Structure 1
Amino acid sequence: MAAHIMIANSSQTYVVIPLSIQPEDNGYLIGNQELEDFYQFPEEGLCIITLLQQGRTIAEVKAECDRAFPESVDVDDFIGTLTDIGFISPSEQKADFQQKLASTPQDKRWKFALPQKIAGAIFSAPALLVYLAILGYAALSAANDPRLRFNPHALYIRENFTLTLLALLLLQALTTALHELGHMTAAAKYGIKSKLGWGNRLWSIVAEADLSGLHSLPKRQRYLPLMAGLITDLLNIACVTLLIKLLLSRDADPFFIQIFQALILQILFTMSWQFNVFLKTDIYYALCVYCNYPNLDSEARVYLRAHLHRLSGGRLGAAGPSQYYNLGTLRAFAALWLAGRVLALILLFVVVIPTLLRYGRDAWRVVGNSVSSSYDKWDLSLFFILSSALLALGLYVWLKGRTRISKGN
């Protein structure tokens, strides 16, 4: 590679971008929050980066590594890697390097900023006690009144299809926003800036809070921001339960009761979705922290492509590296990743699409039935159109992303 060829002058020095360094069990997590790039490096890597930060030449770095480590260190190769990922550049190219960093494409995601003192108060011990009190009161209320317990049939509707769908989409958008706000507020507690944008998990369009900066924190401080979304979901369920209790005491229309009961089921579904670690969910990122494996998903893809390449005699996939950071962990996650993807596709073709087609068949029958009212015809037809559009949009975004990845490879 060109970056490796440049390392011919033993008197060469480099400029290093600002990097955060966090000790991990088997090395160091080093990266830059603004670039959102973090990598796991061994002690030899940290030594080389530190020497480059001090302005040492290539010859001095090699000499120091020879004295510090009993085994030979390939300094040229590692400096080439640092150049490739954009952490360093030759000193004489400092102006161009800084201009390149400054001219990165504008990030259109919403940047979240909250004073650290306020964020700390929201996730302080007294505040958490208040949240526990709300959860306890909601649980006690549900124990005393069966109408406040989870209604597994709340999502089964026989009328007002479109109105119910729109209401649930609006309420789900609100609870999703609160979920992501929980992540970003907990990160702000530790002074970490975050961004909010949109993405997809397979064919599901999702909101995404970018918490890449957490890698600059000690390991024990990363768990709260990652799990804050689930904590917020539990609090949302408690608040909705208490709202249902209030509506019942006011003899509210059963339609509103069912809407909020259905919302609770939706929140529970999104919480269970977080355990699909093959989709880079909250639990996935917590697992990465626990295993000291920041790029577990991407390495699993590389590992599986390498296996496919070998099994197909080089016709499919791509050759992989000679060794991996933690092969045992990687093998386990790769198996889970593959099984999860297969099951998700089975769910799509066996449950999701057939269910949608049944709604389409029902809508067609209602439209062709002269006895049905105009409201029923429009209601079920719009419901089918909106549901189909949401699924089609998700599939389009997913397949477009897969096409882009294939071209990149």
Structure 2
Amino acid sequence: MTVTFVELTAHREADGWIVGRAPAGPFVALPDLGMETIELLSAGRSTAEVHAELHRRHGEEVDVAAFVASLDRIGFVARIDGRPGATVVQPRPSLPWLRSGHLRWLVRWPAAVVWCAVVLAAVVLLVRSPERRPGLADLVWADSAALVLLVDAVVASVVISLHELGHLAVARAFGVPGTVTLSTRLTVLVAQTDVTGAWALPRRRRVLVYLAGTATDLLVAAGCLFGSLGFAADGTVATCLRAVVLTIGLGALLQWALFLRTDGYFLVQDVSGCRNLYGDAGRLLRFWVRRGPDPRPGLPPRERRFVSGYAPFMAVGAVLTVGAFVVVSVPVLVRLLVVAGGDVARGVSGPHWADLADGVVGLAVLAAFHGTLLWLLGRRLLGAVRRRRGTT
């Protein structure tokens, strides 16, 4: 059996090789023996010849045919004995007109110097001007709850979009395509940028991709603080700008909730040398409740220690997140729905057009946000059920 591979990219890391399908993945971690097998097959040797050669070199029995089958399932194989391999659809990149040449300046030292200067100046401003510091009271900047809810939703959407654009732009500067989509982290609605292709980069560059969203957040927050200097500290505009800074800060806290698959999680996973920390920890938790095999024997000692420590941390974080949703978010949502419904009722019976507008806007914002969350959660649950049925 002879094998032809699709275009693959590979680079050496401390514990083996990262091999993937250019430019968007998927990627796998392989030991030296796995990379050697791919090189021998790529040279035109048959699986039987490669098996014999590996046995001669290392004295090991390698099931080359099974290895090829596993690579075929993830889309690495173009042809097997002249027959097409499995087809893997790669995600369509967002903003495909953005090219690496347009964005290369983002990852050069002058941009880093400017970013550091702006953020440092914003920190100095916060220290020297206490009246410019954001607080929770800034989130309620108008008497109309519906107006605050609507504007805050728009601001949050813009901030999140800029955050994801930061990831996308830095990844694209390194020639990595990225796709921005909506998803969920447990009960949290999030936007995410799929930059799987970053595994083709050295670790130092991957770290820049992970940190790009937070770097963008800090730059936007600094801009809002400087913009507030043009207005009275207790004025509506300055209050709104501080509310934006606070919104960014709250979002940044979520990005470092390491028990979810957030920016901070991916950074920790990569720096720790783990390949699938979240997935391995999930399998370990299922093993602890007697619902699956123990994943640790198949992991290197370093990864085994990280996974064993991360699994209980992930479980506690998940319980707290779901608990907060039930205990805090649901009652708040019910209260907001009652208030908005009361505004609509008063507006219709009055008629009081201001109350009616407040109620309609409030219900529309709540329906858009929570409807999207429920739709994504339902789609994920349905996909999990289908996969489970397909494996039974």
TM-score bracket, shorter-length normalisation: 0.7 to 0.9
8 Å contact kept, 2:24–2:197: no
Structure 1 stretch displaced more, 18-27 or 320-329:
320-329
Which of 273, 298, 303 is equivalent to 1:324? Answer: 298
The CA distance in 1 between the partners of 2:295 and 2:363, in whole Å, is 48
* Unpaired segments ≥5 residues, structure 2: none
Structure 2 match to 1:399: 378
Q: Distance in 2 between matches of 1:112 and 1:16?
A: 26
For structure 1, the residue ranges without an aligned partner over 5 or more in a row are: 1-11, 311-316
- Report 1:111-130 matches (<5 A): 111-130=95-114
Aligned pair count reads: 383
Q: CA RMSD in A?
A: 2.8
Residue 210 (structure 2) aligns with = 226
Residue deviations 1:306-361, cap 9 Å, x none? Answer: 433x2xxxxxx444668332322222222222222111110101111111222334
Q: Tell me, yes or no, if structure 1 residue 265 matches structure 2 residue 246.
A: yes
Q: 2:187 aligns with which of 194, 203, 225?
A: 203
In the other structure, the counterpart of 2:44 is 55
Aligned match for 2:127, one of 119, 123, 143: 143
Give the structure 1 partner of residue 168 of structure 2.
184
Which piece of structure 1 moves more, 230-239 or 133-142? Answer: 133-142
1:178–1:232 contact (8 Å) kept in structure 2: yes
The residue correspondences of 1:249-398 to structure 2 (distance < 5 A) are 254-308=235-289, 310=290, 317-319=291-293, 323-325=297-299, 326-363=303-340, 374-376=353-355, 378-380=357-359, 382-398=361-377
Q: Structure 1 residue 235 and structure 2 residue 219: aligned? A: yes
Corresponding letter in the other structure for 1:350: V
**AA of the residue aligned to 2:247:** Q
| Letter matched to residue 30 of structure 1 | V
Residue 26 of structure 1: how far off its partner (Å):
1.8
CA contact (8 A) 2:280 2:295 kept: no
**Residue of structure 2 equivalent to 1:163:** 147
Cα deviation, 1:207-260, whole Å, max 9, x if unaligned, reads 2222111111112221111101111111111001111111228x8xx3333322
Query: In structure 2, what residue type is equivalent to 1:397?
Result: L
Report the residue type matching 1:305 in the other structure: R
Q: How big is each residue's C-alpha offset from its partner over 1:130-176, in whole Å with a ceiling of 9 and x where there is no partner?
A: 22222233223333322211223222466222222222222222222
- Once the 2 structures are TM-superposed, how far is the Cα of residue 62 of structure 1 from its aligned partner? 1.4
Partner of 1:27: 16
Aligned CA distance change for structure 1 residues 57 and 240 (closer, same or farther; 3 Å): same
State how far apart, in whole Å, the 1-side matches of 2:341 and 2:203 are: 56
Structure 1 pair 162–175 and aligned structure 2 pair: CA distance change class (3 A): same
Aligned to 2:32: 43
SS of the residue 1:323 aligns to:
helix
Q: In 2 relative to 1, CA 266–391 (structure 1 residues): closer, same or farther, beyond 3 Å?
A: same
Instruction: Give the aligned partner of residue 87 of structure 1.
Output: 76
Paired residues of 2:342 and 2:359 also in contact (CA < 8 A): no
The verdict on how the C-alpha distance between 1:331 and 1:365 changes in structure 2, with shifts beyond 3 A counting, is same
**What residue number does 1:216 align with?**
200
**Helix, strand or coil for the counterpart of 2:373?**
helix
Give the superposition deviation at 1:292: 2.5
Whether contact under 8 Å (2:255, 2:263) holds in the other structure is: yes
Question: Share of identical aligned residues, percent?
Answer: 26
CA-CA distance at 1:290 after TM superposition: 1.1
